Amino acid sequence: MKEVTIREGREGLSHPKIRFTDDEEILIVRRGEPVARILPVNPKRNVRSIKAFLVSQPMQTVPSEDLLMIEREDRC
């Protein structure tokens, strides 16, 4: 983790591609005390489509009405 002062951080914001292209955290400090943290942007996660998710789910073979009836009978 890099530590930079507020002044160095401001100077880096004028050229962000040069200053903040590393894949590491940057800690902004004022008088030795941390005041901010700049984190790298994580790549966007690959999310499956809803259709692909539904296809991967097992189909229910027993109708839900039958399951509810069995559940109610077990309670009595």
Each residue's pLDDT expressed in tens, for the chain with a length of 76 residues: 788 888 887 777 776 666 666 667 888 899 989 998 888 777 566 778 888 888 898 888 889 999 999 999 988 7
Q: Which domain holds residue 23?
A: 2-38
74 in any annotated domain: no
For residue 15, what pLDDT is reported? 67
What's the token pair of residue 11? 């100077």
48 in any annotated domain: no
For residue 35, what pLDDT is reported? 93
Q: What are phi and psi of 53, to 5 degrees?
A: -65, -45
For residue 26, what pLDDT is reported? 82
27 in any annotated domain: yes
7 in any annotated domain: yes
| Closest residue by Cα to residue 23 from 40, 4, 36 | 40
For residue 11, what pLDDT is reported? 78
For residue 19, what pLDDT is reported? 62
8 in any annotated domain: yes
Give the number of domains in the chain. 1
For residue 32, is it left (φ>0), alpha (ψ between -120 and 50) or beta? left
